[in-house]
């Protein structure tokens, strides 16, 4: 009996330690690193990301991971690891013989976006939106409907917290769905995104974004509604993606309206995807005039992340880009 009592006491002690110790463990907090490893890794990330150098992803991941291991509290490094893994997955169609293991990028993107969101000294709801989006992608890869459903409701929270950004994140996730219902919901979200950015419900049949150009800002939440240093062709890419979804529905007139609005932005002249957009305009106009069904262009011709972020004419990032908020104006070009 005494022996049994001692065993029970030992078990209770272990259990008590297991439940008490975590409450005393210091919480991991975020801080930016100013080491050469972090500074150089982040500059390398931005220069290659803006250049659209998909082939450089292994080197980007090596450098960012080295910086993260040196300071695993750096929320920007964690976020950029998440972005790079998401980029690797989203544009994996650019690789001829892609490995099935490319899906591992979804799991790693979830890990690093979760870390970045937890470590950020303020709630960065863009990180949360990407976290949920990649969680849903991971659920889809593994056929886990519970994860996908949970992610859907979490995305609603992300939209409430930062609609100007996460309406697009949510819509882009749904736009990849094979279900017509999801794609239609994506179109509705994208229109609501435009409404949020314009400050009013815009015309669905006669949109002219030039009316809102005076509202452009490079500070605060509303900066995500414009072209910035981070996404130098944010609006062109956004309007092209929205037009693509309308085109798939057979709504050629509204798709053309969105495509033509993309041409109103001053950065359009530097956009690497001008020819892609103009080719779509021509094809859609021909389909409209002839009354024939539009023969959809091959989507692999259109990079996903890069329609907003790529600009090969941008000057390189500043050496200290990691430790300061980048000037959100579009960078000067060569």
The fraction of the chain above a pLDDT of 90, given in percent, is: 70
Q: For residue 166, give every residue at least 6 positions away whose Cβ sits within 8 Å of its Cβ, in sequence order, or none.
A: 125, 126, 128, 129, 155, 158, 159
Lowest mean pLDDT among 4-18, 202-216, 236-250: 4-18
Q: Where are the domains of the chain?
A: 33-92+100-161, 206-334
Q: Give the pLDDT confidence score for residue 12 in this predicted structure.
A: 42
Most confident of 15-24, 81-90, 287-296: 81-90
Q: Residue 333 forms beta bridges with which residues?
A: 314
pLDDT greater at residue 178 or residue 301: 178
Q: Is the pLDDT of residue 167 over 70?
A: yes
Mean pLDDT of 35-56: 97
Q: 334 pLDDT band (50/70/90 cuts)?
A: low
Residue 320, classed as helix, strand or coil, is coil
Please give the mean pLDDT across all residues of the chain: 89
**Read out DSSP for 277-321?**
HHHHHHHHHHHHHHTPPP-PPPGGGS-STHHHH--TTBPPPPTTG
pLDDT greater at residue 114 or residue 97: 114
pLDDT in tens, 236-258: 999 999 999 998 888 999 999 99
Q: Give the pLDDT confidence score for residue 295 in this predicted structure.
A: 61
Whose CA is closest to 167, among 138, 198, 121, 123? 198
Q: Give the pLDDT confidence score for residue 22 in this predicted structure.
A: 58
pLDDT in tens, 307-329: 999 999 999 999 999 998 876 66
Q: Is the pLDDT of residue 96 over 90?
A: no
The whole-model pTM stands at 0.89
Q: Give the pLDDT confidence score for residue 249 in this predicted structure.
A: 85
Lowest mean pLDDT among 97-111, 223-237, 243-257, 319-333: 319-333
Q: Give the pLDDT confidence score for residue 250 in this predicted structure.
A: 85
CATH code of the domain made up of 33-92+100-161: 1.25.40.10
Q: 126 pLDDT band (50/70/90 cuts)?
A: very high
């Amino acid at each position: 009996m005494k022996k049994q009592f001692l065993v029970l006491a030992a078990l209770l002690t272990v259990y008590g330690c297991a439940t008490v110790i975590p409450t005393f463990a210091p919480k991991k907090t975020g801080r930016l690193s100013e080491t050469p490893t972090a500074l150089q890794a982040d500059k390398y990330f931005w220069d290659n990301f803006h250049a659209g150098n998909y082939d450089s992803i292994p080197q980007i991941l090596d450098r960012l991971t080295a910086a993260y291991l040196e300071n695993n509290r750096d929320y920007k490094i964690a976020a950029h690891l998440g972005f790079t893994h998401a980029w690797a997955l989203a544009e994996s169609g650019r690789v001829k013989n892609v490995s099935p293991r490319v899906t591992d990028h979804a799991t790693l993107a979830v890990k690093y976006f979760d870390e970045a969101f937890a470590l950020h000294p303020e709630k960065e709801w863009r990180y949360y939106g990407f976290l949920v989006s990649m969680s849903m992608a991971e659920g889809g890869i593994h056929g886990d409907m519970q994860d996908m459903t949970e992610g859907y409701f979490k995305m609603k929270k992300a939209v409430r917290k930062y609609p100007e950004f996460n309406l697009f994140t949510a819509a882009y996730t749904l736009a990849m769905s094979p279900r017509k219902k999801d794609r239609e919901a994506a179109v509705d979200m994208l229109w609501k995104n435009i409404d949020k950015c314009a400050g009013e419900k815009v015309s669905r049949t006669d949109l002219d974004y030039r009316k809102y150009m005076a509202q452009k800002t490079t500070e605060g939440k509303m900066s995500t509604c414009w072209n910035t240093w981070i996404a130098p062709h944010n609006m062109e890419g956004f309007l092209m993606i929205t037009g693509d979804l309308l085109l798939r529905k057979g709504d050629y007139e509204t798709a053309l309206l969105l495509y033509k609005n993309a041409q109103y932005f001053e950065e359009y002249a530097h956009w690497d995807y001008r020819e892609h957009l103009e080719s779509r305009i021509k094809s859609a106009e021909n389909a409209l005039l002839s009354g024939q069904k539009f023969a959809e262009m091959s989507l692999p011709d259109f990079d996903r992340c890069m329609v907003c972020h790529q600009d090969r004419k941008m000057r390189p990032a500043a050496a200290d880009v990691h430790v300061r908020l980048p000037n959100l104006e579009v960078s000067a070009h060569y």
